[in-house]
């Protein structure tokens, strides 16, 4: 627009930043704050008798003039604040990316700045959340209180059944509500979409929440899922058939214990795993197996238990404490066969999370683990009993981002 005289002031003058380097908006307490004026401000008429130096004047629509938001430098937007302007809420700019003290508007569209009679304020779009729930978890899951908790914090929530998880698209966060067996497949969805994963533990043992420090209370976990800002990048384990897991895949006593614990869960809750473990130690036989880590054979012979670990947590409080879910490498702990009396010491090591440090226990790491066990051998993967897939287990590093804290 050419320079010209101010002329008569419009009845309701608007203000226009003349340059592309125009406006810095920041998210602050879920609001977008107008920053500082940059370059020249075009004004259709004088405001409160002020005569800014080196201004350009244009006459545009009486209600509003477009502000071009692109490549904005941070300094100098004081005049906008002085005229108590706001970013018009009729056009939503969802995200701004700061690069070298400049702001890039990702949708590339212009926005509007108008003078207002009240204090300058901003607008932050609601967080769009896909809640993927396993309603069968923990003996029955009611999602109403979880949805209400997230909406109280400004989230737009759409619910999906676990089996419909691949239909999720166009969201800011994915939240899973269910037991440990539900988390991995939803974590894979969040990773594919490139959005954070929130976890609401709603199972029996909730070992994943224990391992990652998430709230065990469901409502508190739902609130954290939409308000949390601390993200942690974690790996995913994948069985040979492609099935993902976040805690462990364990063969031997763990699978026998899980089988025995299953009918006891409604009455005993997490204690069902301890009762199952006692029965397994008394009645189970060692498992013939071989283990290879990144192509090297690290164990061959009978074993009470073989545990392939991501977080390392399982069994209502047991864990391979040496496992690190953020290192992109799988841990494997092998408890060789021996006397049943010695199993009490192994159980203590599992409860203390020190099993990998016990004398006689084989502990190795690898990106690819190969377990050879008899055909049809049942094993426990994140609390669910499976057969097949141990022949090749891999780690996918940085597979998803967990919402881990506020």
**pLDDT (0 to 100) of residue 310:** 98
- Domain containing 336 equals 244-395
Report the chain's mean pLDDT, rounded to a whole number.
76
- Same domain flag for 248 and 389: yes
- Same domain flag for 172 and 295: no
- Rounded Cα distance, 334 and 290, in Å: 10
- Whole-model pTM? 0.68
The share of the chain scoring above pLDDT 70, in percent, equals 63
Comparing 15-24, 226-235, 270-279, which segment has the lowest mean pLDDT? 15-24
Q: CB neighbours of 370 closer than 8 A, spacing ≥ 6?
A: 291, 292, 391, 392, 393
Pairing of strands 330-336, 31-34: unpaired
Burial class (CB in 10 A: 0-12, 13-18, 19+), 268: middle
- Same domain flag for 208 and 336: no
- Same domain flag for 315 and 197: no
Whether the per-residue pLDDT at 333 is higher than 60: the answer is: yes
Residue 89 lies inside a defined structural domain of this protein:
yes
- Same domain flag for 80 and 203: no
247: closest CA among 309, 327, 328? 309
Residue 199 lies inside a defined structural domain of this protein:
yes
What is the pLDDT confidence band of residue 189, given thresholds at 50, 70 and 90? very high
- Rounded Cα distance, 167 and 160, in Å: 8
Between 48 and 313, where is the model more confident?
313
- Same domain flag for 368 and 265: yes
Residue 233 lies inside a defined structural domain of this protein:
no
Q: CB neighbours of 194 closer than 8 A, spacing ≥ 6?
A: none
């Amino acid at each position: 627009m050419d320079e010209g005289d101010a002329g008569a002031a419009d009845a309701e003058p608007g203000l226009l930043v003349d340059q592309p380097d125009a406006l810095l908006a920041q998210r602050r307490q879920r609001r977008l704050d107008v920053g500082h004026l940059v370059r020249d401000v075009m004004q259709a008429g004088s405001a409160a008798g002020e005569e800014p130096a080196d201004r350009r004047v244009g006459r545009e629509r009486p209600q509003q003039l477009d502000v071009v938001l692109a490549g904005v430098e941070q300094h100098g937007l004081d005049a906008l604040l002085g005229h108590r302007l706001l970013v018009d809420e009729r056009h939503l700019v969802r995200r701004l990316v700061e690069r070298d003290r400049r702001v890039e508007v990702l949708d590339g569209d212009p926005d509007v700045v108008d003078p207002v009679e009240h204090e300058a304020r901003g607008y932050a779009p609601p967080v769009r959340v896909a809640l993927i729930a396993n309603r069968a978890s923990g003996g029955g899951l009611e999602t109403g209180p979880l949805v209400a908790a997230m909406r109280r914090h400004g989230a737009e929530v759409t619910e999906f059944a676990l089996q419909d998880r691949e239909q999720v698209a166009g969201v800011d966060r994915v939240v899973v509500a269910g037991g440990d067996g539900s988390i991995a497949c939803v974590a894979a969805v969040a990773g594919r979409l490139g959005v954070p994963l929130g976890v609401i533990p709603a199972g029996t043992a909730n070992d994943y929440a224990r391992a990652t420090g998430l709230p065990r209370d469901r409502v508190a976990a739902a609130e954290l899922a939409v308000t949390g800002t601390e993200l942690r990048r974690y790996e995913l384990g994948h069985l040979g058939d492609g099935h993902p897991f976040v805690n462990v895949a364990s063969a031997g006593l763990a699978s026998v214990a899980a089988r025995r614990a299953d009918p006891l869960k409604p009455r005993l809750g997490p204690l069902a795993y301890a009762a199952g473990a006692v029965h397994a130690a008394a009645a189970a036989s060692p498992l013939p197996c071989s283990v290879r880590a990144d192509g090297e054979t690290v164990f061959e012979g009978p074993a009470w238990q073989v545990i392939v670990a991501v977080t390392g947590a399982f069994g209502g409080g047991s864990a391979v404490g040496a496992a690190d879910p953020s290192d992109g490498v799988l841990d494997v702990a092998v408890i060789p066969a021996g006397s049943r009396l010695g199993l009490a010491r192994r159980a203590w090591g599992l409860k203390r999370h020190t099993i990998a440090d016990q004398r006689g226990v084989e502990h190795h790491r690898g990106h690819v683990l190969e377990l050879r066990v008899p055909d049809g051998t049942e094993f426990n993967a994140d609390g669910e009993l499976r057969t097949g897939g141990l022949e090749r287990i891999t780690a996918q590093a940085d597979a998803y981002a967990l919402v881990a804290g506020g």
